[in-house]
Structure 1
Amino acid sequence: MIPAIIGTRPNNSIALHKSGIRLLGVDDSPFRRGQQKSFIVGVIMRLDGYIEKVMKAQITIDGNDVTERISNMALKFKDIVRVIVLSGISFGGFNICDIELLFKLTGIPVISLFEKGGSASEMINAINKHLGDQEKIGILKRLKPIALNNNGYTIMANLAGIESESASRIIRMNTVRGKMPEAVRVPDLIAKIL
């Protein structure tokens, strides 16, 4: 049997049968109205959920710096991180991560997960109303969400640099219980205390 391979470059291809491959999971901290800054939390973990590194970076509320901040986190550990897993696409309000650009900057495949029912069109309307930022709207319009099944639950994903079959397999292998993988669950738990 040939193991599933992901990545577009030979030095970024990984065999999914190895539980020791590393993921970078990212989520954002809560913030209050009027705050200018917030944090994202990055957790490097093995596919089996073993945590190896926790880090944070400051982002601007409704800003345009989250793609760069996540890229910086990933590039520090480019030799070991094989997949970036994001909790959604929007961090610190409407600081939208451009997953295609993130993939281009890092060469690391990106999986952005969100609950079924999340709507890019609702975000577009809110951004139009409050910010009028056409760059953010353009990023959101380029997204092509797909439904994935994980433990009998349907979750939604946007992908860059990875096929849906490989993304689904990674999510399943990184999920201990419930619908979301550890790469989303653990950064969320840590970010809540910031």
Structure 2
Amino acid sequence: MHLPPLPRAAGFDDAPFAKRPGARVPLAGVVCAGTRFEGLVWGGVRRDGWTATDEVCRLLVGGKFLPQLHLVLLDGIAFGGFNLVDLPRLARTLGKPCVAVMRRMPDLPAVERALGHLSRPERRLQLLRRAGPIHQLHGFTFQVQGAEPEWVARALGRLTDKGQVPEALRLAHLIGSAVVRGESSRRA
């Protein structure tokens, strides 16, 4: 798979949300060419719900950004608590490599315990496992569907200004926080 010098990516992150069950969770999607901001989509899911995959698809399918993208980035595999993304279905529906980027290796036993407190824990665990193995390459930690891990690691490097957070995800975090709280948070 060819990697252009300036890959285009959409990065999705949830904004701050109420901790009550079923709360609405804003979802920011930022499109970047390399590290340059090019566009924004905005949506939402429910806390611990089941619509994360459908919402990302709704925000991209039929829109102007999808044909331009080389990959889709998610800040982790879930939004709004444990509204898990079906990563293989997302990649298949969008026809693009889809990558769940993590800042560090997750504590999988703790995640599994937390899932046990929610509705349909077996289904949530199945979605988590379907996302595939967690890779740690070139300073990035991620799961991917639709591309080889080495290609993804190189793409993430071209999409990152500094550190291990691609610019599209960093901006999605800052924008979501600013819209909800009136100012961006310190951690991005």
TM-score, normalisation: structure 2:
0.86
Is 2:22 the counterpart of 1:42? no
Q: 2:183 matched to which residue of 1?
A: none
Percent same amino acid at aligned positions? 24
Q: Secondary structure at the match of 2:27?
A: strand
List runs of 5+ in structure 1 lacking aligned partners.
6-14
Q: Secondary structure at the match of 2:102?
A: strand
1:26-51 CA-partner distances (Å, limit 9, x unpaired):
1001112226211110011102x111
Tell me, yes or no, if the aligned pair for 1:111 and 1:157 is still in contact at 8 Å. Answer: yes
> 1:168 is aligned with what amino acid?
A
> In the alignment, which of 134, 146, 152 is matched to residue 145 of structure 1?
134
TM-score, normalisation: structure 1:
0.84
Is 2:122 the counterpart of 1:134? yes
> 2:70 is aligned with what amino acid?
R
Q: What pairs up with 1:112-123 in 2 under 5 angstroms?
A: 112-123=100-111
Provide the alpha-carbon RMSD of the alignment: 1.5
C-alpha deviation, 1:70, in angstroms: 0.7
Q: 2:184 matched to which residue of 1?
A: none
1:85-144 CA-partner distances (Å, limit 9, x unpaired):
111011001100111110111111111110223133322211112334322110112331
List runs of 5+ in structure 2 lacking aligned partners.
181-188
> In the alignment, which of 171, 176, 186 is matched to residue 186 of structure 1?
171
User: Quick check: which one's strand share is greater?
Assistant: 1
Q: What pairs up with 1:1-194 in 2 under 5 angstroms?
A: 5=1, 15-19=2-6, 21-34=7-20, 36-47=23-34, 49-75=35-61, 76=63, 77-142=65-130, 143-150=132-139, 155-193=140-178, 194=180
C-alpha deviation, 1:56, in angstroms: 0.9
Q: Go from structure 1 to structure 2 and tell me whether the alpha carbon gap of 1:132 and 1:17 turns closer, same or farther (over 3 Å shift).
A: closer
Task: Report the Cα distance in structure 2 between the residues aligned to 1:138 and 1:124, rounded to whole angstroms.
Answer: 11
Q: Secondary structure at the match of 2:74?
A: strand
Tell me, yes or no, if the aligned pair for 2:102 and 2:141 is still in contact at 8 Å. Answer: yes
C-alpha deviation, 1:79, in angstroms: 1.4
